[in-house]
């Protein structure tokens, strides 16, 4: 027996999260833990890894005869990093400002330090870097890379460590189709070498080595090997303010000609042309590192090289005197990176309301009509009961739903939804995409970034695909 749990309970932020859990994991058993957001999946994984206090009994049995490291390693759902001074005082636009001082270590240095700390073999690292096509970002700073590249960094470090028990929370978050396939093969190889694997995921495309499934609901285990079947949630009637057509000032929303973005000798975007008109709903796709986030940052006004390119937004040439706030007030945006940098001290209510002002938290008084919209949206997203709790204490799925609410609260002319369903379970993803379809009926313009055709709104009308910073023709 590798893991033996008896009558285990746990609390988090004064809430009972796990209730009287009993579970054993035998050699050769590799689990996927499934369940709705907030069911306790992540907390259970952290308890097994020794990261959360508990009551009850937990015994981990590691083998001194194994070639793998006698350790339990937990991979977070996203990567938490600090700057060179050891704090996390970053801002969203800093990622695109390469004139800033080197504030965090490079990826190569991060891996070097990790290898020294754990006395790891460099040859094994080089093999993982090749497998995940990671060499191209080794000279980047931690805050400069995308969410998918951060996930790869977490996975590379964990697989390089090769612990006897590996627990990965949301292993596929931010990864494109190719990277997912590579990950599954590497995880199968890990198991063949004697590792025990536990994944916390509602995804269906799992490694062949996963041979057990458990399901969680409200902090308890439901032992069943039947397929995950989260009931489909019915969409409530839209808040009244989202039924109104956005007030467009121009038929042409985005005009980009021969867009080029370069950092030193590295060209991130090259010769990209793109026209988006009012009411169109675009899907933006491309592999990890293809330039999607950089392209979006030019639109949202977060990238300093926007002024060096031929870009018109809402019919106005960039650099024509408009401020970044003139642009942002017409745009609602959500992205995994924005979530990283959001105010950890904001409540759920404050997080939604900050969308009126495009701020990182709420620092102004709301008008009466804004309060009405806020209440409508809290009810619509089923967040009314947690509105006064800190956003950071909520399950990841509820955090993301709150920030999605922030995106739509001002009924903007343009919605930029950059992998909006990262961290959401299957039910929440279906619900949100139905919401996007419903909102699109009012004529809003949408740019939606998503890797998987099966997890997209049905209302998409156009498609742009990037590959190595260039527009793929004929799509």
Average pLDDT, the chain: 87
CB neighbourhood size of 364 (10 A): 11
Eight-state DSSP code of residue 142? G
Residue 227, pLDDT above cutoff 80: no
Of the chain, the percentage scoring pLDDT greater than 70 comes to: 91
Asked whether the predicted pLDDT for residue 310 surpasses 90, the reply is yes
Higher pLDDT, 236 or 25: 25
pLDDT band at 79 (very low <50, low <70, confident <90, very high): low
- Asked if 268 contacts 402 with a C-beta cutoff of 8 angstroms, the reply is no
Residue 192 has pLDDT above 80, yes or no: yes
Q: For the sheet containing 281-286, what is the strand order? A: 331-334, 414-418, 445-449, 281-286, 462-467, 470-471
Distance CA 258, CA 310 (A): 7
Q: Show the domains of the chain with their CATH numbers.
A: 3-222 (3.40.50.300), 240-471 (3.40.50.300)
Alpha-carbon separation of residue 11 from 18, 41, 305 (angstroms): 7, 13, 47
Reported as a pLDDT band with limits 50, 70 and 90, residue 186 is very high
| Secondary structure of residue 328 in the 3-state scheme | helix
Instruction: Lowest mean pLDDT of 90-94, 151-155, 334-338, 378-382, name the range.
Output: 90-94
Measure the CA–CA gap between 48 and 58, rounded to whole angstroms: 8
pLDDT at 455 over 90: no
| Whether pLDDT at 220 is above 90 | yes
Q: Which residues are 466's β-sheet partners?
A: 286, 471
Among residues of the chain, what percentage have pLDDT more than 90? 59
Cα(208)–Cα(183) distance, rounded to whole angstroms?
12
Q: What average pLDDT does range 14-32 have in this prediction? A: 93
Note the pLDDT tens digit of each residue in 265-279: 788 999 999 999 999
Q: What is the pLDDT of residue 323?
A: 78
Q: Residues, the chain, total?
A: 475
* Contact residues for 320 (Cβ-Cβ < 8 A; gap 6+): none
Tally of helices (H runs) and strands (E runs) in the chain = 12, 19
């Amino acid at each position: 027996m590798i893991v033996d749990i008896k009558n285990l309970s746990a609390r988090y932020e004064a809430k009972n999260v796990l209730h009287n859990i009993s579970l054993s994991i035998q050699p050769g058993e590799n689990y996927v833990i499934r369940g709705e957001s907030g069911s306790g999946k992540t907390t259970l994984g952290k308890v097994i890894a020794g990261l959360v206090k508990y009551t009850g009994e937990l015994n981990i049995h590691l083998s001194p005869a194994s070639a793998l490291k006698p350790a339990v390693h937990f991979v977070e759902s996203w990567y938490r990093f600090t700057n060179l001074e050891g704090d996390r005082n970053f801002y969203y636009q800093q990622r695109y400002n390469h004139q800033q001082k080197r504030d965090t270590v490079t990826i190569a240095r991060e891996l070097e330090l990790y290898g020294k700390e754990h006395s790891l073999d460099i040859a094994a690292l080089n093999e993982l870097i090749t497998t995940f096509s990671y060499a191209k970002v080794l000279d980047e700073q931690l805050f400069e890379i995308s969410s998918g590249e951060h996930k790869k960094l977490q996975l590379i470090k964990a697989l390089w460590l090769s612990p006897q028990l590996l627990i990965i929370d949301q292993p596929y978050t931010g990864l494109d189709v190719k990277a997912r396939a590579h990950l599954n093969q590497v995880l199968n190889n890990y198991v063949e070498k004697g590792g025990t694997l536990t994944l916390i995921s509602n995804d269906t495309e799992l490694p062949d080595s996963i041979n057990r499934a458990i399901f969680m609901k409200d902090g308890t285990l439901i032992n069943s090997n039947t397929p995950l079947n989260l009931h489909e949630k019915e969409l409530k009637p839209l808040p009244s303010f989202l039924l109104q057509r956005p007030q467009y000032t121009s038929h042409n929303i985005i005009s980009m000609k021969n867009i080029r973005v370069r950092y030193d000798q590295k060209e991130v975007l090259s010769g990209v042309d793109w026209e988006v008109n009012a009411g169109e709903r675009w899907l933006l796709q491309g592999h990890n590192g293809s330039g999607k986030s950089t392209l979006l940052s030019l639109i949202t006004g977060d990238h300093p090289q926007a002024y060096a390119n031929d870009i018109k937004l809402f019919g106005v040439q960039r650099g024509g005197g408009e401020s970044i706030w003139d642009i942002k007030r017409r745009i609602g945006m959500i992205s995994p990176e924005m979530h990283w940098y959001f105010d950890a001290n904001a409540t759920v209510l404050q997080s939604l309301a900050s969308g009126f002002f495009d701020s990182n938290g709420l620092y102004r008084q709301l008008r009466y009509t804004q309060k009405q919209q806020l209440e409508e949206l809290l009810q619509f997203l089923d967040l009314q009961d947690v509105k006064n709790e800190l956003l950071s204490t909520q399950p990841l799925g509820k955090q993301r739903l709150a920030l999605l609410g922030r995106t739509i609260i001002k009924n903007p002319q343009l919605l930029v939804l950059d992998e909006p369903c990262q961290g959401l379970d299957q039910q929440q993803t279906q619900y949100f995409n139905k919401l996007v379809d419903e909102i699109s009926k009012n004529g809003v313009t949408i740019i939606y970034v998503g890797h998987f055709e099966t997890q997209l709104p049905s209302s998409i009308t156009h498609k742009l695909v990037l590959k190595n910073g260039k527009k793929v023709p004929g799509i």
